[in-house]
Amino acid sequence: MTTGMNEIMIDLQGGAKAPLYQKIYDHLKKEITCGAISKGTRIPSTRLLAKQLMVSRSTVEMAYEQLLAEGYIKSEACRGFFVCDITELYQLEGKQNKSEGLNADFTSEPVWGKETAKKLPDCYADFSPDAIDTEHFPYNVWRKLNKDVWLDDREELLLSGEGQGDERLRNVIAQYLYQARGVNCHASQIILGAGNEYLEILLAQVLGTKKKILMEDPTYLQAYHTFCNLGFQVETILGSDKGIEIESVHEIQPDAIYIMPSHQFPLGTVMPQKARLELLNWANEKEGRYLIEDDHDSEFRYRGKPIPSLQSFDRNGKVIYLGTFSKSIAPSLRVSYMVLPLELLREYRRKCGFYSTTVPKMQQEVLRKFIEEGHFGRHLNRMRAIYKAKHDFITAELKKYKWVKRVSGDHAGLHVLIEVDTNLTEQELCEQARKAGIKINGISEYYIHKQEERCNPVILLGYGKLDNEKIKEGLKLLNEVVETAD
């Protein structure tokens, strides 16, 4: 039996000077701690509390996130937030009274903003660029393969197997990469790992963490933070449709350059052949220089010839190739792959050869069968058609609105970029859109170094997860936000 409460009175004006979310957090924590709000009680939704307190919803969300993280409340799907049993929690908190320590999370940069955002409750249309279509997942095939794998009592399913991942799986991946992306490699050069970040962690150990790495800005911030965490010196260069200009590379003198030549994230640009060759030449000029090619979503290209990977042009073992099944199959799979040039492979074996694989054996088996039996090829073709239809639909819909000043980064991947003609700032636009029930991300969120305010906001519209109805209605809601503001 649970009790609910619909109103919480919090004095946000009085008391010490502190951010609003902290006051909300402090108040709720105190009430829970002293038993005023008891275990099992449902507390108001973030929407409701924000309305009552007349603060923005994200303010309440931040307070709730922290309470969630510390175990004071828990979230139940479709039901809301409930107060936890804190008796056990309590005896652990000897240090929690030091309020400086307690608020450390808030004052620092919330690099994991997107992670926590995932937990947000109700939202009509989620335009996140990393959301995939889950409706057309081949559940039946997957179910059957799972069953097949466990058909016999096979001991090998219980042993972790080869450190780089099973050879048979690496073989089919090598074949796939050659056919689909022109990647030249032998299975022995492939290392499987539980996600790109894990492989980047291995790569950092292989290259040595004292190196200087160059990245485009904006970029995948996860890769950026991973490299920083491991001690790399990261230099950045503003991303453009010209790719990386070689003059800047000569100036910065990095040891390695992280790029997404086939489809830059989040800009959606394709690196021109000239820039590719210049980068390869630069790498060839000196020993120890490498290009890290993250080929994250190259499976989905809707116009023109497939763009071969940079690795396919590499004759001197200068390109480290990274790819993932997160978008082509499912993020939950946690399987990525890294192709190492032979020289680095030797270094990998020397420094990292002792690591067991991070991919469970049973998962490897199901994935191998999925590729080997032709399901993966069929799935890719099917999903490409589905995503293309969504892509064509959203670009057609966007033409209806005069505030859509420019659409870019299209013809590939799972999102488009649009420049919005409005008086709102990017942040205001995203916030108000969220209040209206649609989740959009501004391009600024993907910059390592915050840029000066632009004239017009640029936002990412991911369509992977949405059907036509949601795309259409979502854009209508966005239209209302823009029209109301101007």
Distance in Å, CB of 38 to a copy of itself, minimum: 18
Binding span for a copy of itself by CB under 8 A among 129-137, 243-251, 252-260, 418-426: 129-137
Comparing CB distances to a copy of itself, the nearer of 349 and 405 is 349
> For residues 296 and 262, what is the distance between their CA atoms, to the nearest angstrom?
9
Residue 306 interacts with a copy of itself (CB under 8 A): yes or no? no
Among 173, 177, 180, 201, binds a copy of itself (CB under 8 A): 201
Residue number, 186 or 242, with CB nearest to a copy of itself: 186
Window 108-127: residues binding a copy of itself (CB under 8 A): 108-112, 114-116, 119
Cβ proximity to a copy of itself: between 297 and 419 the closer is 297
Kindly state whether residue 101 participates in binding a copy of itself, applying the rule CB under 8 A: yes
Minimum CB separation from a copy of itself for residue 70, in Å? 6
- Residue numbers 317-346 binding a copy of itself by CB under 8 A: 317, 326, 330-334, 342-343, 346
- The residue (of 159 and 277) whose beta carbon lies closer to a copy of itself is 159
Question: With binding defined as CB under 8 A, does residue 247 bind a copy of itself?
Answer: no
Q: Is 97 in the site for a copy of itself (CB under 8 A)?
A: no
User: Is the distance from CB of 321 to CB of 338 less than 8 angstroms?
Assistant: yes
Site for a copy of itself in 341-370 (CB under 8 A): 342-343, 346-347, 349-363
Treating both helix axes as pointing N-terminal to C-terminal, what angle do 196-207 and 342-352 enclose, rounded to 10 degrees? 90
Q: What share of the chain is helix, strand, coil (3-state, %, to 5)?
A: 45, 15, 40
- Using CB under 8 A as the binding criterion, the count of chain residues that bind a copy of itself stands at 94
Burial 167-203 (b: 16+ CB within 10 A, else e): eebbbbbbebbeebbebbbebebbbbbbbbbbbbbbb
Q: Which amino acid is present at 161?
A: G
Asked if residue 71 binds a copy of itself (CB under 8 A), the reply is: yes
Query: Does residue 79 interact with a copy of itself by CB under 8 A?
Result: no
User: What is the radius of gyration, based on Cα positions, of the chain?
Assistant: 25
Euclidean distance between CA atoms 162 and 144, whole angstroms: 25
Q: Does 233 bind a copy of itself (CB under 8 A)?
A: no
Pairing of strands 80-83, 73-76: antiparallel
Nearest distance in Å: CB 410, a copy of itself:
25
Binder among 46, 128, 189, 444 for a copy of itself (CB under 8 A): 189
Contact stretch for a copy of itself (CB under 8 A) within 11-19, 226-234, 266-274, 383-391: 226-234
Minimum distance of a copy of itself from residue 124's CB (angstroms): 17
Q: Which of 5, 30, 99, 150 binds a copy of itself (CB under 8 A)?
A: 150
Closest distance to a copy of itself from the beta carbon of 419 (Å): 27
Pick one of 20, 82, 105, 245: the residue that binds a copy of itself (CB under 8 A).
105
Instruction: Provide the 8-state DSSP code for 139.
Output: H
Q: Could you tell me if residue 187 is left (phi over 0), alpha (psi between -120 and 50 degrees) or otherwise beta?
A: alpha
The 3-class SS string of 39-95 reads: CCCEECCHHHHHHHHCCCHHHHHHHHHHHHHCCCEEEECCCEEEECCCHHHHCCCCC
Looking at residues 260 to 289 of the shown chain, list those that interact with a copy of itself (rule: CB under 8 A): none
The distance of closest approach from Cβ of residue 201 to a copy of itself in the complex, given in angstroms and rounded to an integer, is 6
**Judged by CB, which is closer to a copy of itself: 2, or 423?**
2
Q: Can you say whether the dihedral through the CA atoms of 236, 107, 442, 81 is positive or negative?
A: positive
When binding is defined by CB under 8 A, the residue of 41, 52, 96, 236 that contacts a copy of itself is 96
Kindly report the backbone phi and psi dihedral angles of residue 152, in degrees, each rounded to the nearest multiple of 5, phi listed first.
-110, 160
Whole-angstrom distance, CA of residue 312 vs CA of residue 184:
6
Alpha carbon distances (Å) from 354 to 351, 357, 363: 8, 9, 21
Q: Which of 5, 159, 238, 396 binds a copy of itself (CB under 8 A)?
A: 159
N- to C-terminal Cα separation, the chain:
48
Do the Cβ atoms of 434 and 47 come closer than 8 Å? no
33 binds a copy of itself (CB under 8 A): no
Q: Specify the pairing of strand 212-217 against strand 190-193.
A: unpaired
Q: Which is nearer to a copy of itself, 203 or 404 (CB)?
A: 203
Find the part of the chain contacting a copy of itself (CB under 8 A) among 192-200, 392-400, 406-414, 450-458. 192-200
Task: Find, among 409, 459, 411, the residue nearest to 439 by Cα.
Answer: 459
